[in-house]
Amino acid sequence: MDRRPGVGSGEPRRYRVLCSREAGNELVAAECRALTGGLPDPDGVATAQTLDRVPQAAYIKFGLRLLAEGKTLNALVAKLAACPLEGAEGFRLDLVRLSGEPSPSRSEAIRTVASVIPARPNLSVPSLRLLLVQQRLRWWLGRLEALPDRSYRRHDRKPFRTSSSLPSRLARALVNLLPPQARTLLDPCCGTGSILLEAAALGLEAVGLDWNPKMVRMSQKNLSHFGYTATVHQADARTWSSPADAVVTDLPYGRNLQTTQELIAAILSNCARLAPFGVFVFSEEIGRLLLRVGYRRVEVYRVPKGRSFVRYVHVGVRSPN
């Protein structure tokens, strides 16, 4: 029997996640959907189908089991009073305000809810954590069940990088877009290995390519620094022939790189042959080109960098899932 805190009996398990709110970053919602099956509302809250993959998330902050909710704090408290939580001994209750009026005060709201929980709190070493969430049109209470491990942060200290290297958080989010059944990943333009590091950290079999031997050495040294075993080859992304479950790559762009539309088209065309699923970062929207080279469905997400630059993340599926 499930003795974890819950309201009533026979109620189906319901999950919610809280995501980071970053203006204009459409990758936040895309990662949330890929990892949990839910899309965040304007407050960054999504109803999730699962919390299993929350620990690997880049943009998710909390994964919770929904215990009770109401349109007002008083309505929420009335529900908790009518159906007291079970198994909450040693709880800690915190408040997150996502929107709405800053009333009542934080301490008053927490005391009001804690007063109808038939258990003693333990703020220092809690046996479980409860989160009271205020949104514009609802208050709700959840049990914290999953947190991201933020393991990508250690890769920010990789010994070799360039000015164009992807941030570790962004690289992790790109890998998180893969379907859970994907086990092998190819990065045909791997640079210093930002994507390979995240793939290896998540247990994927990763292979990187780069035409520049200097980049190959940097990737190999970065992987070795963290004890990962991904393979890196000096090779042409246009002619590589070994297939993978997915391609994830930051395509070459920028003033310091000799990039042509023909080069990008050739790389994408080969990627479409090698893997049924692809994630491609570029400095402009290339959805039509992805469709032309063989992908049947393409989604595009904008990721701003500062005030003047936008990365475009393209997700291409070669055949229906």
Tens-digit pLDDT profile for the chain (321 aa)? 233 444 433 344 699 999 999 999 999 999 999 999 999 999 999 999 999 999 999 999 999 999 999 999 999 999 999 998 999 999 999 999 998 788 899 999 999 999 999 999 999 999 999 999 999 999 999 999 999 999 999 999 999 999 889 999 999 999 999 999 999 999 999 999 999 999 999 999 999 999 999 999 999 999 999 999 899 999 999 999 999 999 999 999 854 455 688 999 999 999 999 999 999 999 999 999 999 999 999 999 999 998 889 999 999 999 754
Sequence spans of domains, the chain: 15-146, 151-317
In this prediction, residue 253 carries a pLDDT of: 80
What's the CATH class of domain 15-146? alpha beta
- The residue with tokens 């701003």 is 304
Going edge to edge, which strands form the sheet with 139-146? 45-48, 15-19, 60-70, 139-146, 128-134, 91-97
Cα 38 to Cα 62: distance, rounded to the nearest angstrom: 13
The CATH classification number of 151-317 equals 3.40.50.150
> Residues in the chain, how many?
321
Pairing between strand 184-187 and 277-282?
unpaired
In this prediction, residue 254 carries a pLDDT of: 58
Going edge to edge, which strands form the sheet with 277-282? 231-234, 205-210, 184-187, 246-250, 277-282, 309-317, 297-305
In this prediction, residue 258 carries a pLDDT of: 58
Dihedral angle at the C-alpha atoms of 228, 57, 30, 36, nearest 10 degrees?
120
Find, among 78, 173, 162, 97, the residue nearest to 135 by Cα: 97
Cα 31 to Cα 28: distance, rounded to the nearest angstrom: 5
Burial 219-233 (b: 16+ CB within 10 A, else e): bbebbeeeebebebb
In this prediction, residue 226 carries a pLDDT of: 98
SS3 of 319, please?
coil
In this prediction, residue 308 carries a pLDDT of: 85
